[in-house]
Homo-oligomer: A and B are copies of this chain.
């Protein structure tokens, strides 16, 4: 049943039987931008949504993980790749789907990679070869745009941005 519990101010899912409150909170997605000799690792999705499009290794963080460990696990699962010299890269808010992305940047260890179960293929791309029209999600496009702009700006500070869905379903990016 949906109701506002005592002392709360928002509607929650409350079990009629036992009274337990099932809070629903934003979910964390963690991922990595991996560089190898000026190229960046992308995975082509073997699952919906966006089957066949290119993405960065990323996925839902699990309980009892740290954000870094979660990002490394996703990179291992999707690309059988390891990360060296990882740094916090960006935080993105996706309020329309109640997600927060935490992205790291690092070096691909030994240049080794191999498609995981949820991946059709893994490839390295030079900036000029990035398939901008075939990226799976706006947050992937924004991550790569910021990543390639950083060395030109000479700055590697942590980025923050909002990925907003407008009423007409188009996407707006706000950078802070």
Contacts and interface: CB of A to CB of B under 8 A. Distances in A.
Interface string A59-101: 0111111111100000000000000000010010101101010
B26 A61 contact: yes
Q: List the number of copies, as a whole number.
A: 2
Contact of A162 (B66, B88, B93): B66
A94 to B, nearest CB: 9
B64 A96 contact: yes
Contacts of A69: 95
Interface in A12-47: 22-28
Contacts of A88: 91, 158, 160, 176
Nearest to A159: B88
Contacts of A26: 28, 61-63, 65
A32 to B, nearest CB: 15
A66 B99 CA distance: 9
A63 B100 CA distance: 10
Contacts of A27: 25
A21 to B, nearest CB: 12
A28 B99 CA distance: 10
A115 interface: no
A88 to B, nearest CB: 5
A25 B162 contact: no
Interface of A: 10, 22-28, 60-69, 88, 91, 93, 95-96, 98, 100, 102, 157-158, 160, 162, 176
15 contacts: A10-B62, A25-B27, A26-B28, A28-B28, A61-B100, A64-B95, A64-B98, A65-B93, A66-B95, A68-B93, A88-B158, A88-B160, A88-B176, A91-B102, A157-B157
